[in-house]
Amino acid sequence: MTPDATTDTIPRNPGVPLAPDWFERIAVNTPAAERRAASLAGRRSLKKEWQAAWLVNAIRCMDLTTLAGDDTPDRVARLCAKARRPLADHILAGLGLDDVHTGAVCVYPTMVAPAVAALAGSGIPVASVATGFPAGLMPLRLRLAEIRYAVGEGASEIDIVINRALALRGDWAALHDEIAAMREAAGAAHMKAILATGELRTLRNVYKASMVAMQAGADFIKTSTGKEGVNATLPVSLIMARALRDYGARTGFKIGFKPAGGMKTAKDALAWQVLMMEELGRDWLRPSLFRLGASSMLADIERQLEHFVTGRYASSSRHALA
């Protein structure tokens, strides 16, 4: 069975008042989580047309991203062209597909307007990082103003960063209030809460921060900014997926998940999709509930799909970089 990449409307998470009893006594067996994560690669054998289908699905769930200090409208326009047509025509034809595009394009707030213009008519949403990305160390009023600015420029998704200091000292009430204010500032734009898990120190903190973000109204929880020393890992993603499952069991709402940073290969794209399938089920293999924040893996996915279609590996220089 191949993943279903159909996008649909998921009822938005309204959030709930802070409920520490949902997470304060949580215990995480780190060695067991690491063993479970290490076993995922062998749980599904994806070969030939099945592997190709899952790789195409990874493209559909990808947030193609540029977050560089030298970004320009022209660079963003090139990225958007790649988002519209991530695969070469001969690969699409060989796969029997008419069209494939990425799940979103993610940029800085000042690049939202050029991205919206470049993607006009494509149906591809523009996501913007905000709230003092990547550190989040700005006064709250400025972080909220940045969200409103990005939404005003046309962003339909906002990737916020949490205040890690609040999480590290266990000030969950203050963290909940900040994220809830960010959700209110985002308005109709879907909000992804970046936990920066590499800076949270323990898997228990990862679980707790995940639960607080969802209680505060996050539509997605996201592992990393991509700027930390340690970004997305399978053990961290496993704990976040279980927090998603627990929140859904309590509230009935499905929250999305986005691993970001540190993923570079087609093999990585398969591993994180297997994690979603094994832990959360088929629903989390579609863009409305799953995104991959790893633009650099697109070239390797395209290379693997070209091998599937032609039987030959192309030089990586043949595939345009995201």
Domain boundaries, the chain: 20-318
The pLDDT value given to residue 204: 98
The pLDDT value given to residue 44: 72
Could you confirm whether 254 is annotated as catalytic? no
Q: Which residues are registered as beta bridge partners of 181?
A: none
Could you confirm whether 63 is annotated as catalytic? no
User: Distance (Å, rounded) from C-alpha 33 to C-alpha 206?
Assistant: 13
Query: Catalytic one among 82, 208, 254, 258?
Result: 258
Q: Which residues are registered as beta bridge partners of 64?
A: 105
Could you confirm whether 258 is annotated as catalytic? yes
CA-wise closest residue to 107 among 97, 118, 115, 95:
115
User: Distance (Å, rounded) from C-alpha 163 to C-alpha 191?
Assistant: 15
User: Distance (Å, rounded) from C-alpha 143 to C-alpha 91?
Assistant: 43
The distance of Cα 108 from the centroid of its chain, to the nearest Å, equals 16
Query: For residues 144-179, b (16+ Cβ closer than 10 Å) or e, as one string?
Result: bebbbbbbebbbbbbbbbbbbebbeeeebebbbebb
Query: Catalytic one among 82, 192, 208, 222?
Result: 222
The pLDDT value given to residue 40: 84
Query: What's the order of all strands across the beta sheet hosting 256-258?
Result: 63-65, 104-107, 126-129, 157-161, 190-194, 220-222, 256-258
Query: Catalytic one among 63, 159, 268, 300?
Result: 159
CA distances 140 to 12, 164, 219, 283, Å, are 24, 14, 20, 35
Question: Which parts of the chain have pLDDT scores under 50?
Answer: 1-7
Give me the helix-helix angle, 297-310 and 266-279, nearest 10°: 100
The pLDDT value given to residue 321: 56
Contact present, 177 and 144 (Cβ < 8 Å): no
**CATH code assigned to 20-318:** 3.20.20.70
Whether residue 134 has a cis bond before it, omega within 30° of 0: yes
CA-wise closest residue to 179 among 153, 158, 197:
158
The pLDDT value given to residue 6: 40
Contact present, 212 and 23 (Cβ < 8 Å): yes
User: Distance (Å, rounded) from C-alpha 299 to C-alpha 12?
Assistant: 33
Residues 186-231 have pLDDT tens digits of: 999 999 999 999 999 999 999 999 999 999 999 999 999 999 999 9
